[in-house]
Amino acid sequence: MVQKRVLVIEDEPNISDAIRFILTRNGWQVEVEAGGTAALARLRADPPDALILDLMLPDMDGFEVLRHLRAAAHTRDLPVLMLTAKGQSADRDLAARLGVTCFMTKPFANSEVVAALQDIIGP
């Protein structure tokens, strides 16, 4: 079985460490970036199989990251799980319009994150 790669864009170390632990235990190769600018550079160089994206980031918000991803040919179809504390319907609607694959609010159950990733990338 080929190990799937996921990039986590999350600026809170306790959350990114928890996600890394959960996913690594479930067979994923996990990389982490704390900001959108660095993440976009990494994505241009070597896109993973999926992306977990926080909405609130220090240098640009998750919506802006998503706009860049969907505008670039090599990341246009990259599965994106937006994981955020901001779960208002306006945020969900904007994320959907920008092309997010799945939207999940914090706090989250470990099994929900694993299931959502498996669902968005397929077998």
pLDDT tens readout for residues 53-108: 999 999 999 999 999 999 999 999 999 999 988 778 999 999 999 999 999 998 88
Has residue 20 got a pLDDT over 60?
yes
pTM of the model: 0.94
Taking each helix axis as running N to C, give the angle between helix 62-71 and helix 36-45, from 0 to 180 degrees, rounded to the nearest 10.
20
SS3 sequence of 11-51: CCHHHHHHHHHHHHHCCCEEEEECCHHHHHHHHHHCCCCEE
pLDDT at 85: 85
Domains belonging to the chain, first-starting first, are 5-121 (3.40.50.2300)
Has residue 1 got a pLDDT over 60?
no
CA angle 95, 15, 27 (to 5 degrees): 90
Residue 89's SS3 state is: helix
pLDDT at 41: 94
